[in-house]
Amino acid sequence: MMISLDQISVKQIKGVSAPKEQELHAFGVQSVADLLDYFPYRYEDYRIRNLADAKDGEKVTVLGYIRGVPLLQRYGKGKSRLTCKIEIDGWLVTAVWFNRHYLQEQLTVGREVMLTGKWEQHRLQLTVSDSEFQGGSSESSGTGAGGKSAKSGTLQPVYSVGGSITQPWMRKTIRQALTQYETMIEEVLPHELVQRHQLMARREAVRHIHLPEDAKEGQAARRRLVYEELFLFQLKLQAYRALNRKRSDGLALRVESEWIRQFAATLPFELTDAQKKVVNEILMDMRRPSSMNRLLQGDVGSGKTVVAAMALYGAVRAGHQGALMVPTEILADQHMRSLQKLFGGMGIEVGLLTGSLTERKRRDVLAGLQMGIIDIAVGTHALIQGDVFFRSLGLVVTDEQHRFGVNQRSVLRRKGMNPDVLTMTATPIPRTLAITAFGDMDVSTLRERPHGRKPIKTYWVKHDMMDRVLEFIRKEVDQGRQAYIICPLIEESEKLDVQNAIDLHIQMQQAFPQYKVALLHGRLSAADKEAVMGAFGANETQVLVATTVVEVGVDVPNSTLMVIMDAERFGLSQLHQLRGRVGRGEHQSHCILVADPKSETGRERMKVMTDTDDGFEVARRDLELRGPGDFFGTKQSGLPEFRLADMVADYEMLEEARDDAGELTGQDDFWTNPSYARLRALLQKDQIFQGEQLD
Ligand code: ADP
Ligand code: MG
């Protein structure tokens, strides 16, 4: 077998002495492969720019002509200050060199120079860190022979260094390693993936990430290597999961595609392609004898509920029961009604199980579930706990907020059930990010929204524009639409929230005497909430003043206006959720954020909301604003640390890599085909596979 670069010690590289080799170990670098994979974390930009474009205090590289006689001041002990007038892009600039007196003789009038340094515009001064003289040598030891130094006009890699390993040494050594070993760098990715994503070959990418000709090339190299890193990471997770899947302790539901097609035909709309794809993914899981653990993520309004309904329908027709678990009673109620509507005339019995049932009613439902008279139970968390028993629970769907954890699974297992589980969420990050990273779930995504939906127009106004906001509400309602007005959020005081809502309700009633203005808050009884939502859903009330109880899942397609008071008090994902209550029908919808944010992040949040109504983009920017540390609690997160990839910026690539890895490990011949031997060998090296049977 051919020797590979990870078997060659860095000692073999010209210029690496024994002490240097020892020091490199501290950076995790032992082999030539390690060194070549020691990527720069940024570049220094030595590309020539126009001084007019440079900001004060910025580091720039410029071209100029010497126009004055150099002036040298010495301070003793080899300290000196050398100055000279240079014409740069039409300005006469004072260039300053510290402790480089030997350059004096190079500074002859009329000569062309390339200078890199810190630009101080107010003084017209450039403090030089690097200089190169036309028709002569460069101050730094370059490639010699009258040529330019390695730096001229390029991007220079910056490595993490320390001790006696200096930046120039590292640059030189990696360059040398490339010279000696570049041709031995081998491709690790399967050919079809390189093609699919139009990636650079590994050999090229390694060269260009260290020595990019230009920014574009550097980026292409980085893209290739980021993909590789994410793909290999995902491959491990998925290969592990694929092995687990071979266990079979769940129910294999015999759901026929024909049933699902028939059901889809009863819907008043055509499913989107995304919905079809996701339904298929779910059905495939349900048919397997291992239990499904799938996350369905989709932006608000992307049509997750109907997907869930189809899965539940499949479970019931296959002879089992389903449960739909939601965080609030309002939602349980709403879902109950929409399922009854969807399943109308199909002979499917849907039961509601919430905390506010009378004891008698509750007993009936429990009996119904145990005997299998009720096919689908909708309710809150209590659904799967305590004294609730199903005849044969095949599928649990959980909507928003809850994540179906290991605990709940074991509760069910103890009851002798091991149903398929589908978790739905409208907030892709941070949860999904973590999930994607940990890979404990399969993920389906609805990115597309139903056809004909118009983007929600979002505005940010100050409080002093409230009159115009009221005017806007009036206009919408006069056209037959409905509006939500969300009260400010008072941190940690539900009581104050309620008081706020009551006050705002009174104000709105006064502002709109001609309309019915309703009030919804958390202190209302379940029956009252239901009545309020029912009336709003039926357009008996036109304006709904509410606290954040309407945040999740409420679906009234005729409402087209969402006004959020003191919007800066809400987090981005909450704002996006609230906004998602509108834009659910064919009419143009609007969201108005009323806010006078005092903080920079407050303003930034308003800006994100007005910039985009794509939940994935909102989530990404939210993560950017807060940083992953905030989301996950820095160190405890257990998130993997990538060499190159950035969980936030490279999120989409992470998803692609995950899909590719899933596809590959799902292929039977992945475990046997010789062309994947390299990848399998990589897996075999990994700890989690030790003791597993790979082939
Ligand atoms: P989500 O739960 O993802 O926020 P819903 O499932 O509540 O979204 O769907 C939002 C609205 O869009 C509902 O009124 C639903 O009936 C409707 N809807 C779902 N799928 C489609 C589709 N393919 N075409 C048109 N309307 C759809
Ligand atoms: Mg929903």
| CATH number, position 326 | 3.40.50.300
**Which ligand places an atom closest to the C-alpha of 558?**
1
- Kindly state whether residue 52 falls inside one of the protein's structural domains: yes
Query: Which residue's CA is the nearest one to ligand 1's atom 24?
Result: 450
- Domain span including residue 390: 257-446
* Same-domain check for residues 598 and 473: yes
The reported pLDDT for the residue numbered 634 is: 34
Q: What is the pTM of this model?
A: 0.60
Is the same domain home to 419 and 559?
A: no
pLDDT of residue 385: 74
In this predicted structure, the answer to whether residue 563 has a pLDDT above a threshold of 70 is yes
The reply to whether 15 falls in a domain is no
User: Which of 613, 587, 609, 612 minimizes the C-alpha distance to 475?
Assistant: 587
Return the number of other C-beta atoms located less than 10 Å from residue 654's C-beta.
Answer: 25
**Does the pLDDT value for residue 630 go beyond 80?**
no
Statement to judge: residues 478 and 586 lie in one domain: yes
Q: Is residue 39 pLDDT above 80, yes or no?
A: yes
Q: Ligand 1 centre and the CA of 325: distance in Å?
A: 18
**Pocket lining for ligand 1, CB < 6 angstroms:** 269, 271-272, 275, 298, 300-306, 426, 450, 555, 557, 584
Q: What atom of ligand 1 comes closest to residue 305's alpha carbon?
A: 6
Of 477, 462, 482, 483, which is closest to residue 594 (Cα–Cα)? 462
Which tokens is 525 given? 């009884």
- Amino acid identity, position 196: R
How many angstroms is it from 307 CA to the middle of ligand 1?
9
Of 416, 446, 476, which marks where a domain is finished?
446
C-alpha distances in angstroms, 560 versus 520, 550, 563? 18, 15, 10
Per-residue pLDDT for 148 more than 60?
A: no
Domain end (from 131, 153, 175): 153
The residues, any chain, with a CB within 8 Å of residue 112's CB and separated by 6 or more, are 63, 64, 65, 133, 134, 135
- The tokens describing 116, both together, are 């890199």
Closest ligand 1 atom to 304 CA: 3
pLDDT at 126 over 90: yes
CA separation for the pair 228, 187 (Å, rounded): 10
| Secondary structure class of 560 (helix, strand, coil) | strand
Q: Which ligand places an atom closest to the C-alpha of 303?
A: 1
User: Ligand 1: distance of its center to the CA of 424 in Å?
Assistant: 14
Residues 391 and 422 in one domain: yes
| CA 306 to centroid of ligand 2, rounded, Å | 9
Top-confidence residue, 401 or 88: 88
Asked whether residue 543 carries a pLDDT value surpassing 80, the answer given is: yes
466-494 average pLDDT score: 88
pLDDT band at 438 (very low <50, low <70, confident <90, very high): low
Instruction: Select from 55, 90, 88, 522 the least CA-distant residue to 329.
Output: 522
Pocket test for ligand 1, best of 263, 278, 302, 451 (most atoms within 8 A of CB): 302
87 φ, ψ (degrees, to nearest 5): -90, 120
- Residue 389 near residue 383 (C-beta atoms within 8 A): no
Residue 25 has pLDDT above 70, yes or no: yes
Ligand 1 centroid to residue 483 C-alpha, Å = 19
590 alpha-carbon distance from chain centroid: 26
Q: How far apart are the C-alpha atoms of 672 and 183, rounded to whole Å?
A: 28
Q: What are phi and psi of 549, to 5 degrees?
A: -60, -20
Measured CA to CA, the distance from residue 303 to residue 273 in angstroms comes to: 12
Side-chain-side CA neighbours of 428 within 13 Å: the count stands at 25
Query: Which ligand 1 atom is the nearest neighbour of the CA of 307?
Result: 6
Ligand 1: nearest atom to the Cα of 446: 3
8-state DSSP, 689: G
Structure token digits, residue 378: 């909708």
The count of structural domains within the chain is: 4
301 shares a domain with 230: no
**Other C-beta atoms within 10 Å of 525: how many?**
10
For residue 584, the ligand 1 atom closest to its alpha carbon is 11
Which pair of tokens denotes residue 365? 């439902």
Q: What is the CA 477 to chain-centroid distance, rounded?
A: 37
Which residue's CA lies nearest to atom 17 of ligand 1? 303
The Cα–Cα gap between 546 and 581 comes to 12
Both 334 and 477 in one domain: the answer is no
Is 264 found in the same domain as 384? yes
Q: Are 485 and 593 in contact (CB under 8 A)?
A: no
Separation of alpha carbons 11 and 24, rounded Å: 10
Q: Are 104 and 72 in contact (CB under 8 A)?
A: yes
Same domain, 667 and 555: no
Looking at the structure, tell me whether residues 275 and 400 fall in a common domain.
yes
CATH code, domain with 88: 2.40.50.140
Q: Is 42 a member of any domain?
A: no
Query: Is the torsion defined by CA of 204, 210, 213, 216 positive or negative?
Result: positive
| Same-domain check for residues 264 and 236 | no
Residues around ligand 2, an ion, CB closer than 5 A: 305, 553
Residue 492 has pLDDT above 60, yes or no: no
Candidate of 306, 324, 453 to mutate for ligand 1, largest count of ligand atoms within 8 Å of Cβ: 306
Distance from the alpha carbon of residue 680 to the mean position of ligand 2, in angstroms = 41
Q: Is residue 177 one of the residues assigned to a domain?
A: no
- Give the residue, out of 584, 589, 614, with the most ligand 1 atoms within 8 A of its beta carbon, to mutate for a pocket test: 584
Tell me which ligand sits closest to the C-alpha of residue 447. Answer: 1
Mean pLDDT, residues 463-478: 95
Please choose, from the candidates 127, 74, 77, the residue with its C-alpha nearest in 3D space to the C-alpha of residue 104: 74
* Residue finishing a domain among 128, 153, 178: 153
Do the domain assignments include residue 9?
no
Which residue's CA is minimally distant from atom 26 of ligand 1? 450
Q: Rounded CA gap, 676 and 664, in Å?
A: 10
Residues 6+ apart with CB under 8 A from 263: 310, 313, 346
Ligand 1 nearest atom to the CA of residue 298, by list position: 3
> Is 313 part of a structural domain of the chain?
yes
Cα→Cα distances 308→196, 374, 449, Å:
32, 17, 16
Tell whether 125 and 240 lie within a shared domain.
Answer: no
Rg (CA), the chain: 32
Nearest-CA residue for atom 20 of ligand 1: 303
Q: Could you tell me if residue 480 is inside a domain? A: yes
Ligand 1 centre distance from Cα of residue 524 (Å):
28
Q: What band does 409 get if pLDDT is binned at 50, 70 and 90?
A: low
The residue to which tokens 């989301």 are assigned = 631
Q: How close is the Cα of 572 to the center of ligand 2, in Å?
A: 18
Specify whether the CB–CB gap between 556 and 537 falls below 8 A: yes
Mean pLDDT of the chain: 85
Examine the domain organization and report whether 426 and 478 are in the same domain: no
Reported as a pLDDT band with limits 50, 70 and 90, residue 551 is low
Q: Is residue 548 part of a domain?
A: yes
For position 245, what pLDDT does the model report?
A: 66
Q: Which of 271, 297, 300, 305 to mutate to test the pocket of ligand 1 (most atoms within 8 A of CB)?
A: 305
